[in-house]
Amino acid sequence: MTTAPAHALPWTSLPTEMKFSVIQHLDAKDIRSFAKVNKEAYTLAVPALWRVVDLQSLDHIISYADNVPQSYHRYTRQLSICTKPANSGAPTNTAISDALSRLLASCTQIDQLSLTLEASLDYSLVHLFQHLDQLKALSIHHCGDEQRTPLSERLVVSIAASVPNLQELSLDRIARSALHAPELIGAYPFVPVVTGDADIPDHPRLGSDLSLPSLLRLPTLRKLKIRDTHLGDPKWCVTPISCSLEFLDLGSYCNESPEFNRVCTERIVGTVGHAVDEFSLNTALSGETYAFEKPKETPLKKLRKVHLTPLFPVENVVDTLTTLSGSPVEELSVRCYEDDVLDMCSALEDFLSLRTERGDSDFYKHLSQISVSTVTDIYSDDNAHDDVHDIFTRSNAGDCNCSSISPRTRPTVVIPAEHALAIQRLQEFCHDLALAGSCSHEELVIAKGMACMCENEN
């Protein structure tokens, strides 16, 4: 039988600070179990128990605000709120505003806030965000009907601008305001436009210009993600830029054409791309991307990471990557739907062939890694499949050496035969590049064990 070391101290004799430190290293299940030991244990576990709060419906929000002591709210660091009712008997707007007001007023230490809103918030709640000094990451997603309950860009921009130290902002399904986009009212393709939002108060920093391009005037903003939102405001080109964006993710808008989305993306890239280090693309780019920024060669002089999302058109992979060839790209990650695996492998082969043809030019000379992964359906866009796999990794580790091929451990998955052949062909193509010495003494490392794609499990 083993005995405790002579120098070991009993739990009760440990300093309170050390007890808190131990609890912080427990997982959620163990923390809940520990909290049930006795009153002291519960008191010690309170900060960890309420650190992450996820309120998945409007009913949960109201119940939480009514029953959880406000003194516990100061321990919350990550807060997720969804205002969609759990049942048809939805509370009144007054009850909603009251619950949110109490919650935001007391959760003053949050650093991450996710708002999933079925409808617009009461404008009187905007001022509460001024007191969230610790908030660094804000996500606002509209989950309601865009035609009946659209979420105005004016409200969203006012909220974001009110957060004193906001660094990361993610927006999804935000509607344009009639004040900033009168040309969209009643015009094809009948984009949802918010009316009646003129009474949103002017912001101390932005004044009455609460359009989406005004987000560029937030000096602390470093990461910006906008998905499924109309980005056709021409003011993206002329708005004074006060931020230095390091990460940019621009999604396409489903009610507009691919060409329109491309122009919108190019306009924004040409304006803010000078500081961007990481870029996620849903829309193809063309050689005209930099026309908005002439006479500069490229506005993406610091771009090191490029991500192509599953919505990116496979037929535009080579053209878009060629457009970005003036940037010092080091990593390229591609996510595609399983049905697109064959075409994506072919497109990557064409891209690598083009790189080989350029020889010793600066065409992607910094590229050190390419990864390809799959998602099972359109709803998997933001969450890669658990069995997603890299096809190959290319690193600048030294001379070409085929013996460097080494698999990683991954679960065994079944893949369609034609997918396996396409992946194998791409792998062999990479081997040929290494053997031919066309990589300028760069080593190609191909993870064979990861060269597979999952079948759709949905």
Between 32-41, 112-121, 147-156, 291-300, the lowest mean confidence (pLDDT) is in: 291-300
| pLDDT in the model for residue 95 | 77
Q: Which of 232-236, 354-358, 407-411 has the highest mean pLDDT?
A: 232-236
pLDDT at 450 over 60: no
| pLDDT in the model for residue 73 | 93
pLDDT at 2 over 80: no
Share of the chain above pLDDT 70, in %: 80
Stretch 223-228: mean pLDDT, rounded? Answer: 96
Share of the chain above pLDDT 90, in %: 48
| C-alpha to C-alpha distance for 369 and 329, rounded to whole angstroms | 10
Give the burial class of 367: count Cβ atoms within 10 A of its Cβ; 0-12 exposed, 13-18 middle, 19 or more buried.
Answer: buried
Stretch 389-418: mean pLDDT, rounded? Answer: 43
Exposure string for 76-115, b = 16+ CB within 10 A, e = fewer: beebebbbeeeeeeeeeeeebebbbbbbbebbebbbbbbb
State the pLDDT confidence band at 45, using cuts at 50, 70 and 90. Answer: confident
pLDDT at 96 over 60: yes
Between 39-53, 132-146, 274-288, 294-308, the lowest mean confidence (pLDDT) is in: 294-308
Q: Which of 58-72, 226-240, 318-332 has the highest mean pLDDT?
A: 226-240
Q: What pairing do the DSSP bridges indicate for beta strands 393-395 and 443-445?
A: antiparallel
Stretch 206-221: mean pLDDT, rounded? Answer: 96
| pLDDT in the model for residue 433 | 63
pLDDT tens-digit readout, 315-342: 999 999 998 988 999 898 888 888 898 9
Residues 10-19: contacts with CB under 8 Å, at least 24 apart: 16/44, 19/44
First to last CA, the chain: 51
- Strand stretches in 282-329, DSSP E: 305-308
pLDDT at 456 over 50: no
Q: What is the mean pLDDT of the chain?
A: 81
Stretch 20-28: mean pLDDT, rounded? Answer: 83
State the pLDDT confidence band at 444, using cuts at 50, 70 and 90. Answer: very low
